[in-house]
């Protein structure tokens, strides 16, 4: 390859990449208002963002790709955990995360600050991020989760839905919520289905988010069947 050819490849590649980058940047900015639901950007949401910044939450958490990776990503936390759980963690992190290996400091947030953060997380949750972060994707299929794993469908859903984030089975998982060893002795399959779909219908003080809208009835039934019959965990 001659020097002239090499320079030609360099300039063509550089200029074409620059043009593509600028075009995509312009296109993204044109869609910002729609993708972010800018019409729902209320004063409370803006105030919640300021609270998020005031307490430097991004020092431990990531949101919309910005922040650290010590604590969970918060982009889809509203879907993943639900408002009741979010509020309890903000108000009593030392209680909710007492048995977690990751600790969150008690910030002594006011009731107003908690309300504003909840509103902020709810708004961020609705931003179209092209299915990012992938661990919170609602499009994950049970077939993909069970492929070549040897798991039952219910066990794969239990693992893939993130139940180990809060519960333990045979010592595996995190002790944020109750351990599920022997849960089939405490609840039958029908009660387990209600617990998964709407925890408050069985336990009014539950902080577990409802999965009735996130999971199909068939998925909930599969997880409940797994828990009722395989209390020893995923095998």
Strands 168-169 and 66-67: unpaired
Tell me, yes or no, whether 160 and 122 share the same domain.
Answer: no
Q: What is the mean pLDDT of residues 137-151?
A: 50
Question: Which pLDDT score, from 0 to 100, does residue 151 have?
Answer: 67
Q: State the CATH number of the domain containing residue 181.
A: 1.10.760.10
pTM value?
A: 0.63
Q: Compute the distance between CA of residue 105 and CA of residue 94 in angstroms, rounded to an integer.
A: 7
Q: Which of 156, 153, 172 is nearest to 164 (CA)?
A: 172
The segment with the largest mean pLDDT, out of 54-58, 78-82, 124-128, 189-193, is 54-58
Q: Compute the distance between CA of residue 220 and CA of residue 214 in angstroms, rounded to an integer.
A: 10
> What does DSSP assign to residue 235?
-
Question: Which pLDDT score, from 0 to 100, does residue 113 have?
Answer: 97
- Please check whether residue 11 lies inside any domain of the structure: yes
Tell me, yes or no, whether 116 and 49 share the same domain.
Answer: yes
| 88-116 tens-digit pLDDT | 899 999 988 877 778 899 999 999 999 99
139 vs 17, which has greater pLDDT? 17
Evaluate if residue 139 carries a pLDDT over 70: no
Q: Which of 106-120, 160-174, 211-225 has the lowest mean pLDDT?
A: 160-174
> What does DSSP assign to residue 90?
H
191 φ, ψ (degrees, to nearest 5): -65, -35
Angle at 70 between CA 66 and CA 72, to 5 degrees: 70
- Please check whether residue 235 lies inside any domain of the structure: no
Q: Which domain holds residue 180?
A: 140-229
Tell me, yes or no, whether 162 and 118 share the same domain.
Answer: no
- Kindly indicate the confidence band of residue 138, based on its pLDDT and cuts at 50, 70 and 90: low
Chain-centroid distance, C-alpha 44: 22
Q: What is the mean pLDDT of residues 194-222?
A: 87
- Please check whether residue 158 lies inside any domain of the structure: yes
Tell me, yes or no, whether 12 and 55 share the same domain.
Answer: no
Q: Compute the distance between CA of residue 180 and CA of residue 156 in angstroms, rounded to an integer.
A: 16
Evaluate if residue 199 carries a pLDDT over 50: yes
Q: Compute the distance between CA of residue 9 and CA of residue 23 in angstroms, rounded to an integer.
A: 21
Question: Which pLDDT score, from 0 to 100, does residue 177 have?
Answer: 82
Judge contact between 163 and 173, C-beta under 8 A: yes
27 vs 48, which has greater pLDDT? 48
Tell me, yes or no, whether 46 and 11 share the same domain.
Answer: no
| 76-87 tens-digit pLDDT | 998 877 888 899
Tell me, yes or no, whether 191 and 120 share the same domain.
Answer: no
Tell me, yes or no, whether 96 and 18 share the same domain.
Answer: no
Tell me, yes or no, whether 66 and 120 share the same domain.
Answer: yes
Average pLDDT, the chain: 85
Tell me, yes or no, whether 87 and 169 share the same domain.
Answer: no
State how many domains the chain has. Answer: 3
Residues 6+ positions from 22 with CB-CB distance below 8 Å? none
In 3-state terms, what secondary structure has residue 126? coil
């Amino acid at each position: 390859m001659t020097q002239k050819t090499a320079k030609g490849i360099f300039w063509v590649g550089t200029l074409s990449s620059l043009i593509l980058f600028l075009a995509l940047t312009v296109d993204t900015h044109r869609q910002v208002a729609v993708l972010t639901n800018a019409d729902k950007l209320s004063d409370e949401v803006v105030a919640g963002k300021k609270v998020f910044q005031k307490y430097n939450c991004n020092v431990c958490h990531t949101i919309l790709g910005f922040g650290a990776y010590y604590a969970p990503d918060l982009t889809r936390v509203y879907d993943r955990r639900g408002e009741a759980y979010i509020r309890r963690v903000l108000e009593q992190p030392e209680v909710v995360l007492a048995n977690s290996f990751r600790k969150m400091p008690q910030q002594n947030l006011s009731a107003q600050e908690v309300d504003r953060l909840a509103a902020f997380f709810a708004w961020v949750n609705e931003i179209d991020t092209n299915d990012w972060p992938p661990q919170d994707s609602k499009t994950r299929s049970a077939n993909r989760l069970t492929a070549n794993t040897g798991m039952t469908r219910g066990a794969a859903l239990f693992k893939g839905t993130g139940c180990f984030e809060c519960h333990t089975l045979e010592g595996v998982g995190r002790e944020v919520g109750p351990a599920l060893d022997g849960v089939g002795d405490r609840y039958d399959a029908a009660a387990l289905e209600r617990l998964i779909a709407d925890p408050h219908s069985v336990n009014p003080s539950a902080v577990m988010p409802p999965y009735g809208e996130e999971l199909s009835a068939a998925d909930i039934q599969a997880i409940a069947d797994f828990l009722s019959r395989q209390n020893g965990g995923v095998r």
